[in-house]
Amino acid sequence: MNQTLSSSRVLSGMRPTGRLHLGHYHGVLKNWVKLQHQHECFFFVADWHALTTHYDDPSIIPASIWDMVIDWLAAGVDSESATLFIQSLVPEHAELHLLLSMITPLGWLERVPSYKDQQENLKEKDLATYGFLGYPLLQSADILIYRASQVPVGEDQVAHVELTREVARRFNHLYGREPNFEEHAESARKKMGKKAVKQYSQLRRAYQEQGDLQALETGRGLLEAQQNISVEERERLLGYLEGSGRMILTEPQSLLTKASKMPGLDGQKMSKSYENTISLRDTPADVENRLKRMPTDTNRVRRTDPGDPEKCPVWQFHLVYSDEGTRAWVEEGCRTAGIGCLDCKAPVIESVLNELKPIQQRAAAFEAEPELVKRIMKEGSEKARAVALETMQEVRQVMSLKSLE
Ligand code: TRP
Ligand code: SF4
């Protein structure tokens, strides 16, 4: 891991939906690309999550995985900077899911809003299954097994991260007190260097003896900044700082991804189910045609009718792609019928094609080397698995599952 990266771990996953479109690119992938240079990042394909809704036709999932992963790589998500992996290649996620299921009250899952909503939305499917109820808890296992502190997600996933926090808290409360905790904490503390240890001890005393919240905050910051201690040791020292016992699982925060401004070709949200997408790997001719055919302000029937950009989906594209000058040209030209709609679309078409060009070049390179893509995911999954195993060893131990050793 790059030493300049902050110590907080980032994790996010995507269900394998096949080829991705500009909405994914602007909403999620660009953000991942940025995060991978700032934090230690884990990005993964949630193929088991796909099974919760596609259990009746799983055969399409493998192709969807590879299509999606090629688009990640094409967009600049990079296996050197982030750990990329496939959920089902790290079976410990399932083990942690099972163990967490022991301590998770049914009511917590039943009241996650997506549970009832999705059952309503996907009425044609029978989602009254055990697996579907457990969807957010599997997600909790995904997050907690890496002790991720930040989880970039859209609005619809925030409740799942909140559940994850509650589950982690309950877990730590139930299993976080080990008899030789103070001894462990002490040895971890010694690794920090004299000055930091002294400061840590003072802050801990100030918080525990006087309830000084500022000292607690400063102490947390101090631990975050330590490079020489492992994630596990940091958790232990955090627990020691707070006097709560050890925090075995980290409570994550959601890192809310702003809703993508990228509209679909009809002005609604870009989404496969609305058939209004531009896919990252659509050919330039296709992209051009689709943009040329996309609807405009419906009041602008003839070339001589003035229009209103506010009522036109093309304007939304200008908001994403065009500079001030071009936008002013559109506003003026549209309202006075000075320009035609095809004129107006020309700079958008050019920008989209320019944006897609390097993405498509990279995609073609990866498409030509399926073995390379497989290797990237295999190696990433092995790396992820090693990290997941560290957590599981502790989890098994505190849940008294190591009796044969
Ligand atoms: N449920 C997420 C979605 O549909 C995908 C997902 C699964 C995920 N596990 C995760 C996202 C863990 C973040 C962290 O988008
Ligand atoms: Fe839309 Fe541009 Fe046509 Fe105006 S000129 S209606 S903004 S496409």
**Domains contained in the chain, number:** 3
Which tens digits make up the pLDDT trace of 74-97?
A: 999 999 999 999 999 999 999 999
Structural domain includes residue 75: yes
Strand (E) or helix (H) holding 152 = strand 150-153
pTM assigned to the model: 0.84
pLDDT over 60 at 269, yes or no: yes
Least confident span in 118-122, 179-183, 321-325: 179-183
Same domain (yes/no): 350, 325: yes
Same domain (yes/no): 113, 208: no
Which tens digits make up the pLDDT trace of 319-378?
A: 999 999 999 999 999 999 999 999 999 999 999 999 999 999 999 999 999 999 999 999
Q: What is the residue with the minimal CA distance to atom 9 of ligand 1?
A: 139
Structural domain includes residue 292: yes
Structural domain includes residue 4: no
- 277: confidence class by pLDDT, cuts 50, 70, 90: very high
Distance 341 CA to ligand 2 centre (A): 5
Which tens digits make up the pLDDT trace of 144-173?
A: 999 999 999 988 899 999 999 999 999 998
CB-CB contact of 374 with 352 (8 Å): no
Q: Is 254 in the pocket of ligand 1 (CB under 6 A)?
A: no
Same domain (yes/no): 48, 147: yes
Q: In this structure, what are the phi and psi dihedrals at residue 67, rounded to the nearest 5 degrees?
A: -60, -45
> What's the rounded Cα separation, in Å, for the pair 128 and 257?
30
Same domain (yes/no): 208, 172: no
DSSP 176-206: ---TTHHHHHHHHHHTT-HHHHHHHHHHHHH
Domain that holds residue 193: 181-242
- 298: confidence class by pLDDT, cuts 50, 70, 90: very high
Same domain (yes/no): 29, 47: yes
CB-CB contact of 239 with 176 (8 Å): yes
CATH number of the domain at 316, please: 1.10.240.10
pLDDT over 60 at 4, yes or no: no
- 8: confidence class by pLDDT, cuts 50, 70, 90: confident
Q: Is 13 in the pocket of ligand 1 (CB under 6 A)?
A: yes
With a pLDDT cut of 90, the percent of the chain lying above it is 73
Mean pLDDT of 29-41: 97
Count CB neighbours of 229 within 10 A: 19
pLDDT over 80 at 71, yes or no: yes
Which long-range contacts link 255-260 to residues 24+ away (Cβ below 8 Å)? 255/10, 255/150, 255/151, 255/152, 255/153, 256/152, 256/153, 256/154, 256/155, 256/158, 257/27, 257/28, 257/31, 257/152, 257/153, 257/154, 259/27, 259/154, 259/155, 260/23, 260/26, 260/27, 260/28
Distance 43 CA to ligand 1 centre (A): 10
Alpha helix ranges (H) inside 243-340: 284-293, 313-321, 324-335
Same domain (yes/no): 222, 114: no
Q: Which residues of 243-254 are buried (b: 16+ CB within 10 A; e: fewer)?
A: eebbbbbbbbeb
Q: Which of 194, 212, 242 is the last residue of a domain?
A: 242
